[in-house]
Chain A
Amino acid sequence: EADIYQTPRYLVIGTGKKITLECSQTMGHDKMYWYQQDPGMELHLIHYSYGVNSTEKGDLSSESTVSRIRTEHFPLTLESARPSHTSQYLCASMRGYGYTFGSGTRLTVV
């Protein structure tokens, strides 16, 4: 049962559009993460945050940006979507030891 919510679940959008993927958690976790995963491939960390006003880029270069204005909210924004951004985006949070993942957003840019 997810305490971390991602919306939308699926999104098809045209090239050049600005989009924001939403991620919210109700657990009060300080640490939040965004991963990108192509079908059948590994997860790659693209952004993470250790608390309000703290954001860092991950191991995989990404043209997206993130913000952390509130503990529970960690949105990811693409200013100008391209077909190469087509992927699944997974949000996770952590307090203590283990991760909790959201259900993901599957993004298709046409």
Chain B
Amino acid sequence: KQEVTQIPAALSVPEGENLVLNCSFTDSAIYNLQWFRQDPGKGLTSLLLIQSSQREQTSGRLNASLDKSSGRSTLYIAASQPGDSATYLCAVTSGNFNKFYFGSGTKLNVKP
């Protein structure tokens, strides 16, 4: 069974810092990897989707990379802002029926 791990579990940085969130998965035979943002008590907002044939995706200040062979993905956030404070979740699809497997998330706090 696919297992997804996110490190660190929590991160607190001052505003303006560049930061990296890490995601690892045990089965490299994935179809896709998706990064989400979740604000407290809310649903999930999709940030970036990387298909298995791709190595990275960029959207604004966010850049996500994928290394299938090593079972790793990183989410890079440039020039962090207090509004970036949220929990960031990584999810991969693998196995039959394209089920997503989620990590437990990284809770980010960006201090003004």
Contact = CB atoms under 8 A, between A and B. Distances in A.
B97 A50 contact: yes
Contact of B99 (A45, A97, A106): A45
A43 interface: yes
A98 B32 contact: yes
Nearest to B103: A42
Contact of A101 (B36, B97, B105): B36
Contact of A100 (B31, B46, B89): B46
Interface residues on A, range: 20 to 34
A98 B43 contact: no
A12 interface: no
A76 interface: no
Main secondary structure of the interface of B (DSSP, over half): strand
B63 interface: no
Contacts of A66: none
A97 B97 contact: no
Interface string A77-95: 0000000000010101010
B89 A43 contact: yes
A42 B104 contact: yes
Contact of A106 (B34, B41, B44, B102): B41
Given A98-B34, A104-B42, A106-B41, A42 B100 contact: no
